Amino acid sequence: MTYIVTEACIKCKYTDCVEVCPVDCFYEGDNMLVIHPDECIDCGVCEPECPPEAILPDTDPQADQWLSLNRDFSETWPNITRKKDAPADADSHKGEENKYEKYFSDKPGLGD
């Protein structure tokens, strides 16, 4: 089992999650983070830290469609272990629907 990040993270990227992960398994894209499914130890401590509730266990039916995205991009995006400032417009995108279709970027973020 693993936890995964959904499209709710896109353009929010508050990064509160990375501070609490004991195994540093978050990876940073241009406008969202993903979790490496093989590194996550399934502790669950990141889930309640995420303001837009973007983190789900893979047992959640909504998680299925995001698992391969987390797996694929955690192999290529850089590791992030320290909290950064959220984008200035993060709050305005919190709770917005269909963010993957509107904004997903496959570009890497900067990482730590």
Q: Pick the closest to residue 47 from 60, 29, 28, 31 (CA basis).
A: 60
73, 27 in Cβ contact below 8 A?
yes
Name every residue whose Cβ is closer than 8 Å to that of residue 63 and which is 6 or more positions away in sequence: 4, 6, 56, 57
Q: Distance from first CA to last CA of the chain, Å, rounded?
A: 26
What SS3 class is residue 17?
Answer: helix
Q: How far is the CB of 70 from ligand SF4 (least distance, A)?
A: 10
- Give the footprint of ligand SF4 on this chain (CB under 6 A): 3, 5, 9, 12-17, 20-21, 23, 25, 33, 35, 40-46, 49-50, 52, 54-55
50, 3 in Cβ contact below 8 A?
no
- Cβ proximity to ligand SF4: between 29 and 61 the closer is 29
